[in-house]
Structure 1
């Protein structure tokens, strides 16, 4: 059996990346972060024009049947799209809106922003047009991620299901791949003692470990997207969370003191990875599910 991506799937990944590079490049990311965000306590204003453009491109309607106005693709293709969104640190309740396509009018077209209660947290509550699940009594909390405003529910709500966990894993995978690329690029250009730091064994090992961590997670996430098996999704989620957090930390290490500054992008990936790790299936629940199967 051939598990390599098809040409159509590679074209989908390229297409999503091109849209995001054009509409949410590093300059746009930094402008959003420096504009305040959740870390500044002033909340964020979602880019509705970008949201609608994503809708026009079919991002939210990827899995919606063509007879219902969707693209008619499957879960593996959705995972590829969300991987690119994670790579770009695209903000907003992407997963909730994607899952609401076909059941909430306007979600598929990007005209309506949908969020959902997940455990005791709700993302982007103030910007959402539709909230799925309880939201009464939710209070704003300080988010470690400047581009993910959070509210806490006093009573909580059931955590997101398998699809939420899998698509979150895809976002984590994209972030891990991006920080791996950033670490390698910095190691090639930053010099010390007259040579690139990538020539030092310790840095080589860090970058190699990042690559291995990312590719192991990629294999698990892609496989879970094909089987949609809850246990495989749990395993993929554990590996993707570990890859996103671990690679961001190692990327900080490769960048040295510069990586800890506000101007560097590395800390944004680490903070988003922490926030994503609280969405859907928790690490402890995923471990229990895997242990029960074993």
Structure 2
């Protein structure tokens, strides 16, 4: 079966990319790194564009779309490394006043006992009375740990996979761009076989993850979502590492953006639904299918 985006879905994806290119370009990303904090004006603009209300029914003031469209929007957010508790606020639309419009920033305790952006959120879903601040590896994602663990929402797992897919896509783009423009021994480094292989592997992981994430958004099957999350986590983390290899020593410098991709990907792997949790869910589904 072939999954192709409709014209409306392509327009949605392009619209979100255009909004983020205008409001959160590289200069804004670097400024956020130097001066961490949530851009409330951008948050409200996302709300006005329907980012948080994509899956909310029209009768409740939402856009009335489904998980496939939400995945496309979150993929673009992941590509831009957009900071903030995007998934929690999106899931709170229709339940927490102002979340759908971007007037209220919502954070939530995930299944791993982690909460992102709790200090700047207006509402935190879950008990954070004993939350302990953590030193986050990602300068754009402040973290707290709490003893209370939230539930693992399949939609949250899927949207995290979509963000990871977007970050993996950006790592692939940066690697290819650098391989084409950086020269050694009088020719672009992309002409060397070792670099070609790295870029090819980057692309393969991205496209495999994309197929899995898009399919899981259509089927909404827990096993499909688990598989998509595992593939997307791998594509994001390994993709950023391979991108660092293409960049060489330059990629490890603070001035380059590659390390930010890797750090964000690492943080997302710690969210609920990643790693062992998805592996066990996927194994359970495979074993159940084998027994039929």
Structure 2 length-normalised TM: 0.96
Matched, 1:104 2:100: no
CA contact (8 A) 1:61 1:70 kept: yes
Q: Provide the C-alpha distance between the structure 1 equivalents of 2:285 and 2:45, rounded to a whole number of angstroms.
A: 42
Unaligned 5+ residue runs, structure 1?
A: 36-43
CA drift at 1:156: 3.1
TM superposition shift of 1:272:
0.2
Query: 1:152 pairs with 139, 142, 145, which one?
Result: 145
What is the aligned length?
Answer: 285
Find out whether 1:139 has 2:135 as its counterpart. Answer: no
Corresponding residue of 2:123:
130
| 1:61-210 map, 5 Å | 61-118=53-110, 119-153=112-146, 155-210=147-202
Distance of 1:108 and 1:160 partners within structure 2: 21
Q: How far is 1:23 from its partner?
A: 0.3
Q: Distance in 2 between matches of 1:18 and 1:282?
A: 30
Distance in 1 of aligned mates of 2:100 and 2:152: 20
Decide which of 261, 267, 279 is 1:287's aligned counterpart: 279
Q: Which residue of 2 aligns with 1:47?
A: 39
- DSSP-derived class of the 2:109 partner: strand
- Is 1:228 aligned to residue 198 of structure 2? no
- The Cα shift of 1:74 comes to 0.6
TM-score (norm 1): 0.95
Partners of 1:4 and 1:176 lie apart in 2 by 20
Per the TM alignment, residue 67 of structure 1 is displaced from its structure 2 partner at its CA by: 1.1
* Cα deviations by residue, 1:88-145 (Å, 9 ceiling, x for unpaired): 0000000000000001000000000000011221100110101111111102110000
- Quote the Cα distance in structure 1 between the aligned partners of 2:32 and 2:150: 31
Give every structure 1 segment of 4 or more consecutive aligned residues whose post-TM-superposition deviation is greater than 4 Å: none
- Give how far 1:2 is off: 4.5
**1:245 matches 2:205:** no
Kindly state the Cα deviation for residue 159 of structure 1 after the two structures are TM-superposed.
4.4
How far 1:282 sits from its partner (Å)?
2.8
> In the alignment, which residue of structure 2 is the partner of 1:40?
none
The 3 A distance-change label for structure 1 pair 143 and 159 is: farther
